[in-house]
Amino acid sequence: MVFKYLFCSIVVLTAFLGGIDAHAGILNEDIVASDAWVRAMPPSQTNTAAYMVIKNKGPNEVILTSVSSDISESAEIHQMSDMKGMMNMSMVSKLSIPGNGEVVLKPGAYHIMLVNLKKPIKSGEIVQIRLFFKGGTSLNVKAEVREQ
Ligand SMILES: [Cu+2]
């Protein structure tokens, strides 16, 4: 039993590391993220949001399919929409960045929701956010924690 458990752990670990390496190896140089920041939250809050501008300098559409962060258990792509005067937040499965275009993630619009913060975050801290795109490319973004 012990051997079987150990074997499973190794397989899982290898798959995990392999996944990370595969992503880290492919970088789409046409995609640039700028003005990245994370909203500072009081310690009682377990979620926060990250904002940035994602620019696509290439001619082809690029699709953001998932996000992750080192400070939260999970991260989601969210959209804010006005539903008859009530701002409503919903998760989206992907975000398209048009060729030679950009998408602005900002308060009241698209944002990255950092869900279940592992520890309180303070202004001035730098947070790593990783963007994963269709086709296997990814981008590491450094975001500063600020009040707004
Ligand atoms: Cu949200």
- pLDDT tens-digit series, residues 37-67: 999 999 899 999 999 999 999 999 999 999 9
Mean of pLDDT values over 77-88: 89
Ligand 1 midpoint to CA 112 (Å): 7
44, 47, 48, 50: CA torsion to nearest 10: 160
Mean of the per-residue pLDDT values of the chain: 86
Ligand 1 midpoint to CA 137 (Å): 24
pLDDT at 145 over 60: yes
pLDDT of residue 24: 46
Ligand 1 midpoint to CA 88 (Å): 9
In 1-148, where does DSSP find H-type helix? Answer: 2-25
Ligand 1 midpoint to CA 9 (Å): 34
pTM over 0.85: no
